[in-house]
A and B are shown apart, each in its own frame.
Chain A
Amino acid sequence: MAAAAIRVVDLGKQYYRNRRRGSLTLKSLLVKWHKERTLPVDENCFWALRDVTFTCESGTMTGIIGSNGAGKTTLLKCLAGITKPTVGRVERSGRLVALIELGAGFHPEISGRENIFVNGIILGLTRREIEQRYDSIVEFSGLHRFIDQPLRTYSTGMYLRLGFSVAIHADPDVLLIDEILAVGDQAFANKCRDKILEMKERKKTVVFVTHDLWSVEKYCDRAVWIEEGRIREQGHPRRVIDGYLSFVASKGHEVLSGEHVSVQVGVEQRIKEREAVVQAQAQAAGAPAAATSVDRWGTREVEITDVRVCENGEPRRVISHGAHITLEMDYRCHKPVDEPVFGIGLFTSDGVPVYQSNTFLERLAPGLIDGEGTVIVDFPSVELLSGEFLLDVAVHMQDGYTFDYHLRRHGFTLHPPLEKHGSDMGIFRPRHQWLHRRSQGVATPIPGAAQS
């Protein structure tokens, strides 16, 4: 039975709401004085983490996921011992290295070589240990030519590469990582990932905070989902991620694409334009007042009551590459409608259209609809690459008179085939095969590489 590398018991961390910037200033003193008189004590504080209990067994990899501001980094800092919990406790065993910031103690004026020593000693290595690993550190960073240059001449990518190289050579028993796997270029990111996986194989314990749900699903033994400082779910990554994605979807599309602000602005602009058009149409047609919101509008004479993405008939938030999926939309008519148009639109999380179509464009005729029913779009094989996708669904008339339009209200996440590293790029992966024809002879499939 594996021992616990980290055991967290009833952990809670409380912060003062109006002292977030820490230091005392005359201004904050006045604000604080006012608030303390007007707010009861417990509203003056808030729990960044509450009742957090979980265990990371030795040799396992745990992914911590959750929305921005959910408390993930605070949790990691508590695990590392950087911040002290208000209540509860954290038990750890073995040498622990926390990569919350790469290159702790780096000084811009001294050389990369000297910084390796400073950083290594801050991470708990001895001088001799650093000397032994020095060549390996430099080689891993790929910065051999620059190692005697002052650090201020390094690019951000080089800086992070050096920091990661030292950290990974600290040979910790427990490694805590905070969203820093996007280090340097793709090749270096792959190297980092391989190195972390190698640590896992050597029975080291890894805990990492990330928004990259794919890494969690692919590499982690367990996932912990934190929301508003509490554990919402923990256990098998796929189950936890599924729960998380459902939660995200229920909060609406703004969370899923929240990090793409510029796209968001564009979308909002479009929504406003459409809203104006739809409302003008509705008024012109003398239709009942439309229940309009930013992501849903229309007269609701025909209402889309539910939308499901199913893999092999089962509703799913996460679907696999190449799976047989169906998109099902339930509708309810408040009056009979002849020849409505059902439409779908598929978009990447940053708003790039992947596919848009409707029954009218495909010259289909649903005929007269009344009461309730379900329209199903059947995709025998979805050959999209991994990522988050958003859906538009709509029912309207051929002239554009809209009954119900759901803008990016639904979505799903596609996860890559497990045997692939998923490092090919794009939106769509056409079925393909690599062949090779040598000067004489016939084309034969290029064989697979030996797994390194």
Chain B
Amino acid sequence: MLPNDLLSSLGRRVFDPHLRDALGEMVKYRLLVSTLVMRELKARYRGSFLGFLWSFLNPLLLMLIYTLVFSVYLRMDSSAIGGPYAMFLFSGLLPWTWFLSSILEGSSSIIANGNLVNKALFPPEILPTVSVLSNFVHFLLGLPILALFLLAFGIVPTHHVVLLPVLMVIQGAFTLGVTLALATMNVYLRDLQHILGNVMTLWFFITPIIYPVSAIPAGFKVTTYLNPMAPLIAAYQDILFYRRWPQSPVALGVVALFAVVVAAWGYSVMIRSRDEFPEEV
């Protein structure tokens, strides 16, 4: 497929007849997916002295750095937030890290595993899925660290955390869709992986993670309405930091629907192009 065909096909149909087959295949390949996720998890810190401890240390260090920057060097006004700023930051940063690493790893996963794609009988849509899932495991491992910090600041989790799995499913579906589509496009247009780092930095700063929504100038609030990550991150902050139900349930519902559409779209983009991967990788 030529790239211009690709771009036109992206918008053609969101729901593809192959989609159900694809989901069926994902179920069939769950052993393969779980094995590869385990491979990623085992391989990541293997050979380092601290080994698997890094799964906990990394989020810990990340939190300490952000605390240092935003509580000491660049003092944020905690009164506008209504609690310890560092904790507000962590509740949004941890899910964002899952999103960010999934996209950065997943978008180049097809190319990085070229020998699986063009030398083995291997369904390529598994590779971005593995990136999303292995980073999800890291996110889960970061949660106890976050909980410890919250407790240390006297923020005892409440019953609102029951909504956490719902948020994870929404975020997972959205991330998977975006990653599948980006991984497909990256096969044809490899410039994508170079620009993606910058795009993600911009996305990070326009999402209310290091500042509350209230800090955004009125004229720019529109970016949060167009940004599916904004209601999600806000919901994490509501549940974990403010200990209340999400304040904008409608926006969250829209994002949930949107996430399903994006996941379906991401799949169909990949399914339509995957037969060409062995020649392109």
Q: Which residues of A contact B (CB under 8 A)?
A: 15, 22-25, 77, 80-84, 96, 98, 100-101, 104-105, 107-110, 114, 117-118, 121-124, 126-127, 150
Whether A101 lies near B46 (C-beta < 8 A) is no
Say yes or no: is B22 at the interface (Cβ < 8 Å to chain A): no
Whether B122 lies near A114 (C-beta < 8 A) is no
A254 to chain B, nearest CB (A): 30
* Option from B32, B115, B122, B188 in Cβ contact (under 8 Å) with A23: B188
Which residues from B are CB-within-8-Å of A80?
121
Q: How far is the CA of A105 from the CA of B127 in the complex (A)?
A: 11
Whether A150 lies near B47 (C-beta < 8 A) is yes
B98 to chain A, nearest CB (A): 22
* Option from A22, A117, A126 in Cβ contact (under 8 Å) with B279: A22
Can you report 28 residue pairs joining A to B where beta carbons are below 8 Å apart? A22-B280, A22-B281, A23-B190, A24-B3, A24-B188, A24-B190, A25-B190, A80-B121, A82-B120, A82-B278, A98-B121, A100-B119, A101-B115, A101-B119, A104-B115, A104-B119, A104-B120, A105-B116, A105-B120, A109-B43, A110-B42, A110-B43, A118-B39, A121-B32, A122-B32, A122-B122, A127-B31, A150-B46
Whether A77 lies near B31 (C-beta < 8 A) is no
Q: How far is the CA of A107 from the CA of B45 in the complex (A)?
A: 13
Which residues from A are CB-within-8-Å of B187?
22-23
A108 to chain B, nearest CB (A): 8
Q: Which residues of B contact A (CB under 8 A)?
A: 3, 31-32, 35-36, 39, 42-43, 46-47, 115-116, 118-122, 187-190, 275, 278-281
Which residues from A are CB-within-8-Å of B120?
82, 98, 100-101, 104-105, 122-123
Whether A24 lies near B189 (C-beta < 8 A) is yes
Query: Beyond A105-B39, A122-B116: 12 further Cβ-contacts under 8 Å?
Result: A23-B190, A24-B190, A77-B278, A82-B120, A84-B275, A107-B39, A109-B43, A109-B47, A110-B46, A118-B35, A122-B32, A122-B35
Which residues from A are CB-within-8-Å of B279?
15, 22, 83
Whether A105 lies near B36 (C-beta < 8 A) is yes
Question: Chain B's interface: helix, strand, loop or mixed, by majority?
Answer: helix
Which residues from A are CB-within-8-Å of B46?
109-110, 150
B36, B116, B120, B189: most-surrounded residue (chain A CB, <10 A)? B120
Q: How far is the CA of A122 from the CA of B29 in the complex (A)?
A: 10
Number of A-B contacts (CB under 8 A): 76
Which residues from A are CB-within-8-Å of B188?
23-24
Q: How far is the CA of A110 from the CA of B35 in the complex (A)?
A: 13
Whether B3 lies near A82 (C-beta < 8 A) is no
Whether A82 lies near B47 (C-beta < 8 A) is no
Question: Chain A's interface: helix, strand, loop or mixed, by majority?
Answer: loop
Q: How far is the CA of A22 from the CA of B114 in the complex (A)?
A: 12
Top 5 A-B pairs, shortest CB-CB distance = A101-B119, A22-B280, A104-B120, A109-B43, A109-B46
A332 to chain B, nearest CB (A): 53
Whether A82 lies near B121 (C-beta < 8 A) is yes
Q: How far is the CA of A82 from the CA of B190 in the complex (A)?
A: 22
Q: How far is the CA of A15 from the CA of B278 in the complex (A)?
A: 12
Whether A104 lies near B122 (C-beta < 8 A) is yes
Residue of A whose beta carbon sits closest to that of B4: A24
A21 to chain B, nearest CB (A): 9
Which residues from B are CB-within-8-Å of A117?
35
Which residues from B are CB-within-8-Å of A15?
279
Residue of B whose beta carbon sits closest to that of A16: B279
Residue of B whose beta carbon sits closest to that of A125: B31
Which residues from A are CB-within-8-Å of B31?
121, 126-127
A25, A84, A109, A123: most-surrounded residue (chain B CB, <10 A)? A109
Which residues from B are CB-within-8-Å of A84?
275
Residue of A whose beta carbon sits closest to that of B47: A109
Q: How far is the CA of A25 from the CA of B188 in the complex (A)?
A: 9
Q: A109-B47, A110-B46 are in contact. Are A23 and B36 (CB under 8 A)?
A: no
A167 to chain B, nearest CB (A): 10
Q: How far is the CA of A22 from the CA of B187 in the complex (A)?
A: 8
* Option from A23, A96, A150 in Cβ contact (under 8 Å) with B280: A23
Whether B39 lies near A110 (C-beta < 8 A) is yes
Which residues from B are CB-within-8-Å of A96?
121
* Option from A83, A101, A110 in Cβ contact (under 8 Å) with B278: A83
Q: How far is the CA of A122 from the CA of B189 in the complex (A)?
A: 28
Whether A82 lies near B118 (C-beta < 8 A) is yes
Q: How far is the CA of A110 from the CA of B39 in the complex (A)?
A: 8
Q: How far is the CA of A24 from the CA of B35 in the complex (A)?
A: 33
A80, A105, A124, A150: most-surrounded residue (chain B CB, <10 A)? A105
B117 to chain A, nearest CB (A): 8
A130 to chain B, nearest CB (A): 10
Which residues from A are CB-within-8-Å of B275?
84
Which residues from A are CB-within-8-Å of B118?
77, 82-83
Which residues from A are CB-within-8-Å of B119?
82, 100-101, 104
B127 to chain A, nearest CB (A): 11
Q: How far is the CA of A114 from the CA of B278 in the complex (A)?
A: 26
Residue of B whose beta carbon sits closest to that of A98: B121
Whether B189 lies near A114 (C-beta < 8 A) is no
Which residues from A are CB-within-8-Å of B47?
109, 150
Q: How far is the CA of A114 from the CA of B36 in the complex (A)?
A: 11
A25, A80, A104: most-surrounded residue (chain B CB, <10 A)? A104
Q: How far is the CA of A25 from the CA of B187 in the complex (A)?
A: 11
Q: How far is the CA of A109 from the CA of B115 in the complex (A)?
A: 17
Q: How far is the CA of A110 from the CA of B188 in the complex (A)?
A: 31
Q: How far is the CA of A150 from the CA of B47 in the complex (A)?
A: 9
Q: How far is the CA of A388 from the CA of B183 in the complex (A)?
A: 48
Which residues from A are CB-within-8-Å of B32?
121-122
Residue of B whose beta carbon sits closest to that of A84: B275
B116 to chain A, nearest CB (A): 6
Which residues from B are CB-within-8-Å of A81?
121
B21 to chain A, nearest CB (A): 15
Q: How far is the CA of A126 from the CA of B29 in the complex (A)?
A: 11
Which residues from A are CB-within-8-Å of B281?
22
Residue of B whose beta carbon sits closest to that of A123: B120
Which residues from A are CB-within-8-Å of B3?
24
Which residues from B are CB-within-8-Å of A105?
36, 39, 116, 120
Q: How far is the CA of A127 from the CA of B118 in the complex (A)?
A: 24
Q: How far is the CA of A150 from the CA of B189 in the complex (A)?
A: 35
B119, B122, B187: most-surrounded residue (chain A CB, <10 A)? B119
Which residues from A are CB-within-8-Å of B189?
23-24
Which residues from B are CB-within-8-Å of A109?
42-43, 46-47
Q: How far is the CA of A432 from the CA of B32 in the complex (A)?
A: 56
